[in-house]
Amino acid sequence: MSPPKTLDSVHFGGRWSTSPLIVGTAAWNGLAFSPYQTWAFRRAELSAFAETPFRARNGRKVTMAPIRTLPTRDSGAERLVPIATRTLSQLLKDLGELPPKAVVALVLCLPERMVENSAQGSGAQRRRVEQALMRVLEERGVSKPLLHVEPRGHASLAFALIEAGVALRERKVDVAFVGGVDTHYDPEVVQELLDRERIFDGENLNSFVGGEGAAFCALTRPDVAKRMRWPVLARLDSVATDREAATEDNDIPCRAEGLSRAGRVVSERLREERRSLDWWLSDMTAEELRVHEFQLAWPRVAHDVMPPESTLDFLSECLGDLGAAAMPTGLAIAVEGMLRGDPAASNCLLTGSSVGGARGVVLLSKET
């Protein structure tokens, strides 16, 4: 699946339509077992970084942000399946009862290596994850859950939320579980990244620290939330996707056009509604291309809506690169932060930049 060639965006709430509501979140990563713990440990500036058994060419052990409660010898799908199923199960447990006869959808974000025509190993991992998560829903009594997969990596959540949000608005779905799972704790993944000199080996600073985790949210319409007496944690305001031509695999100059265009969709709405951008949570890593892109996009998007007292945050500082789980984890952290007033924000912009060029932005707002 290739990223779109043009800007795509959807607004909810305001003069457009009723906003989908976030009524539950769950997360598991190398730092914590829940959204609250993740928010609290990041606030305390704790780190999930640790040495792994993988060795770089220089002989050093590769540093990652692994989930250390999982067996050290497990890798790939042996980690993806329990990470994903535990996280979705926790969300279902927290929600309690689901609406009777509800149409339930699972919208799943996965790494780019898991496209439908991917190599045998990645394709098999994708099928195992999909089957395991569908089984979790069926065991909770969900009849014939719908499944939609977005294997677009870091920016997947934006595409997933457009799919889920529109389906909710058109009443094709009553409840959507949207989230992602990813891991770099996989010999084949690590080897490819070492060959491309992208993963941190203790020396190369133009690289990233790999991470792993999953996060899911429950999205529904206001009438369903009211009927089920679910707490409203936040609302979905705007989503936009685009494409950046420059990647690590070509020599095209990075102009940050994709992230800038998608971000301006949000900032133009905020300006129109006379709101400020209170919190920007980015998946940017230390890779030079990613830093350069963000440096170009930030002033274009935020110059007229983001005052000096707003918060600028980066997920990878404590959690490593979470890949397809980055934006879903950011959503869980954003909901937790807005609820607890730290940072003091009434909205949060999530941004994701996939290796293959897809770009996504999501605007969440605190429910008042």
In the prediction, which pLDDT does 4 show? 44
Q: Structure pTM?
A: 0.96
Mean pLDDT computed over 97-106: 96
In the prediction, which pLDDT does 15 show? 78
Judge whether 182 lies within some domain: yes
Judge whether 37 lies within some domain: yes
pLDDT digits (tens, 9 = 90+) for 325-345: 999 999 999 999 999 999 999
Q: How confident is the model at residue 120 (pLDDT cuts 50, 70, 90)?
A: low
Cα 349 to the chain's mean position, in Å? 12
Q: Do residues 286 and 259 lie in contact, with contact meaning Cβ atoms separated by under 8 Å?
A: no
Structure tokens of 77?
Answer: 């799908």
In the prediction, which pLDDT does 1 show? 43
Judge whether 159 lies within some domain: yes
Last residue of a domain, one of 228, 245, 266: 228
Same-domain status, 199 and 67: yes
Contacts of 16 (CB under 8 A, 6+ apart): none
Q: Do residues 3 and 243 lie in contact, with contact meaning Cβ atoms separated by under 8 Å?
A: yes
Find the helix or strand (DSSP H, E) in which 260 lies: helix 257-272
Judge whether 198 lies within some domain: yes
Last residue of a domain, one of 178, 196, 228: 228
β-bridge partners, 281 = 313, 350
Q: Do residues 316 and 247 lie in contact, with contact meaning Cβ atoms separated by under 8 Å?
A: no
Last residue of a domain, one of 209, 228, 247: 228
Q: With 90 as the cut, is the pLDDT of residue 160 above it?
A: yes
Same-domain status, 248 and 220: no
pLDDT digits (tens, 9 = 90+) for 69-82: 999 999 999 999 99
Q: With 90 as the cut, is the pLDDT of residue 26 above it?
A: yes
Picking from 121-125, 177-181, 271-275, which range would have the lowest pLDDT averaged per residue? 121-125
d(CA 297, CA 299): 6
Same-domain status, 134 and 223: yes
Contacts of 155 (CB under 8 A, 6+ apart): 3, 241, 327, 352, 353, 354, 358, 359, 360
Q: At 327, which CATH number?
A: 3.40.47.10
Q: How many residues does the chain have?
A: 368
Please count the structural domains in the chain.
2
Same-domain status, 110 and 201: yes
Range of the domain at 360: 237-365
pLDDT digits (tens, 9 = 90+) for 197-236: 999 999 999 999 999 999 999 999 999 999 999 999 999 9
- Burial class for 222, CB neighbours closer than 10 Å (0-12, 13-18, 19+): middle
Structure tokens of 338?
Answer: 């807005």
Same-domain status, 281 and 172: no
Nearest Cα to Cα of residue 310 among 272, 276, 355: 276
